[in-house]
Structure 1
Amino acid sequence: MPTTTDSLLARAVTTSSGLRYLIRQPGSGPTARAGEKVTVHYTGFLTDGHIFDASVKQGGPLKVRAGRGEVVPGWDEVLLLLPQGSRARVWIPAALGYGSEGRQDPDNEQRYLIPPNADLVFELEVLKIK
């Protein structure tokens, strides 16, 4: 997991799977149930602070059905925990992310966007649940 230099990590909730999250701004809307569509803005970091992906770079928020395996297991888990309107920091252990496979750079197979066994950190904002 990330080093303790991340002061927010000390206040995070840890789930039984090892996922950690801290709600930075509570939402007042509903919490998603499995199969519901969740619209979310995100920025993904490696634990060294390197940004590997962001919804704004992709042209807008991500829409995904929560709990249906459309995203890494850590996302599936946390999307069922965050009410609409929430902003949260999420720490995803490698086993709930891209695991030992990592994620190769589609433009250069010699490089990884996400190295094997990398823990991930996300800033998430749940915009809409329906």
Structure 2
Amino acid sequence: MLTTVFLLALAAPGSPAADTLRTPGGVQYVVHQPGQGQPPGPKGSVRVHYTGFLPNGKYFDTSATDRRPLRVRLGRGEIIPGWEELLPLLPAGARVWARVPARLAYGAKGVRDPDDDTRYRIPPDTDLVFELEIVRVN
């Protein structure tokens, strides 16, 4: 896991660190392990382990719960737009931390808490931070 200081730095808008990369749409990411082989491209398929955090460092979701990576078919609208931009760039074995702007995540809708419809799991207009590990590229 990443240190809280780094997590909060990546979550904070503003000037990114020197090793921070950016997709054309504005997803900021830092590669901690580069991986090997070819990335999947925009229509490929990947298996990815992930953990998601709000900008304050609060965890909201992970693939570790069921210990199986998430299967993602790119280019089909199955995932948030920020992941659609980032995942096609990452080969198997890559590990990154990424900051996804709200407009490329859940935007003004947010995500309601499934146990309490009056609360949000992800508040509207919230940037998200993810730890991602590409387990396999198909």
TM-score, scaled relative to structure 2: 0.86
Cross-structure match for 1:38 = 46
Deviates more, 1:3-12 or 1:19-28: 3-12
> What RMSD over aligned residues (CA atoms) do the two structures have, in Å?
1.9
The Cα of 1:109 is off from its aligned counterpart by 0.3
Match of 1:18 among 13, 26, 29: 26
Separation of aligned partners in 2, 1:100 and 1:20: 20
Please state if 1:124 is matched with 2:132: yes
Deviation string 1:38-69 (CA, Å, 9 cap, x unpaired) is 10000000010000000012442100102321
Letter in 1 for 2:93: G
Alignment of 1:68 onto 2:76: yes
Rounded to whole Å, the distance in 1 between the matches of 2:82 and 2:62 is: 17
Query: Residue 98 of structure 1 contacts residue 117 of structure 1 at CA under 8 Å; is this kept in 2?
Result: yes
How many residues align structurally? 128
Q: Does 1:98 align with 2:98?
A: no
AA aligned to 2:102 is A
Compute the TM-score of the two structures, normalised by the length of structure 1.
0.90
Note the residue ranges of structure 1 that are not aligned, 5 or more in a row: none
Gaps of 5+ in 2: none
- Once the two structures are aligned, what percentage of the paired residues are identical? 46
Structure 1 residues 116 and 7: CA distance shift in structure 2, 3 A? closer
